[in-house]
């Protein structure tokens, strides 16, 4: 019997979890749920535990990517066949879980990405992040030769092969976005976008607030460049060995 897991990375989300966890459970009744407490300074872990969620508490703040990868390791080590990652701030509408999971379970994809641009974006984004997203979408689309609309989406479903691929390697610690789509592409995984709804976060401060969108855009360009350089090196090595 296939086992499914919801992974909720959380940093200082104690105020949001009492709404997010019940809403997620109502949309995915046959899923287990784990909260990855990423070194929160508030009561995130205690609130999650009070809502009967499994909790993995990191002793320090690893960043979003580190928290998500911890969730992947949890899924692999506990024998799950499918995992869905969703934010703990209420931004991801859990109604999208079913379509993400079905896209993977039906064999259409190894990884399904929830796209707000194929679905609905019910909030305002900083202009720097918005411009960066469109540039990254264009870049990834050109490299992969298929249309990608939302390369920064963290609302995702992954099969066990993809979970194994990311659980112990191949995953960035801070912003796993466009660069991870390229890593998946070069590794031969099938990635499909599906429409989802993304909303305004319930409360708290986004990890892309203030000056962080500028850092994000620069960091992501560097990360994409490193993926392309690594792939070019691998291609050259394969040609030499053959």
Q: What is the CATH number of the domain that holds 77?
A: 3.90.550.10
Contact 201, 114 (CB under 8 A): no
Percent above pLDDT 90 for the chain? 71
Rounded average pLDDT over 171-185? 87
Per-residue confidence (pLDDT) for residue 15, from 0 to 100: 97
pLDDT one-digit tens code per residue, 126-174: 677 778 789 999 999 999 999 999 999 999 999 999 999 999 988 887 7
Alpha-carbon distance of 71 to 158, in angstroms, equals 12
At 236, the pLDDT band (50, 70, 90 cuts) reads very low
Pair type for strands 156-159 and 82-85 = antiparallel
Does residue 33 surpass a pLDDT of 70?
yes
State how many domains the chain has. 1
Among 31-35, 211-215, 220-224, name the most confident range. 31-35
pLDDT digits (tens, 9 = 90+) for 84-138: 999 999 999 999 999 999 999 999 999 999 999 999 988 777 677 778 789 999 9
CA 34 vs CA 24, 42, 57, 145, 181: distances in Å: 11, 18, 10, 35, 24
CA distance 205 to 218: 21
Band the pLDDT of 208: cuts 50, 70, 90.
very low
């Amino acid at each position: 019997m296939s086992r499914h897991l919801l992974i909720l990375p959380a940093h200082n989300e104690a105020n949001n979890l009492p709404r997010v966890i019940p809403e997620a459970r109502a949309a995915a009744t046959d899923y287990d749920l784990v909260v990855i407490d990423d070194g929160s300074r508030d009561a995130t872990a205690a609130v999650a535990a009070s809502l009967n969620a499994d909790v993995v508490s990191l002793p320090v703040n690893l960043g979003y990517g580190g928290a998500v990868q911890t969730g992947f390791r949890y899924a692999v080590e506990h024998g799950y066949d499918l995992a869905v990652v969703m934010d703990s701030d209420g931004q991801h509408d859990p109604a999208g879980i079913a379509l993400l999971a079905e896209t993977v379970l039906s064999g259409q994809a190894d990884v399904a990405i929830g796209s707000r641009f194929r679905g609905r974006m019910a909030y305002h984004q900083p202009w720097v992040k918005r411009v960066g997203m469109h540039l990254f979408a264009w870049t990834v689309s050109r490299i992969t030769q298929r249309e990608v609309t939302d390369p920064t989406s963290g609302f995702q479903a992954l099969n066990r092969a993809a979970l194994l691929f990311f659980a112990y390697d191949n995953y960035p610690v801070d912003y796993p976005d466009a660069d991870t789509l390229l890593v998946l592409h070069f590794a031969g995984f099938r990635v499909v976008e599906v429409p989802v709804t993304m909303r305004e976060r319930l409360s708290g401060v986004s990890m892309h607030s203030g000056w962080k969108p500028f850092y994000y855009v620069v960091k992501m360009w560097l990360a994409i460049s490193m993926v392309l350089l690594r792939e070019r090196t691998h291609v050259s090595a394969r040609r030499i060995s053959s």
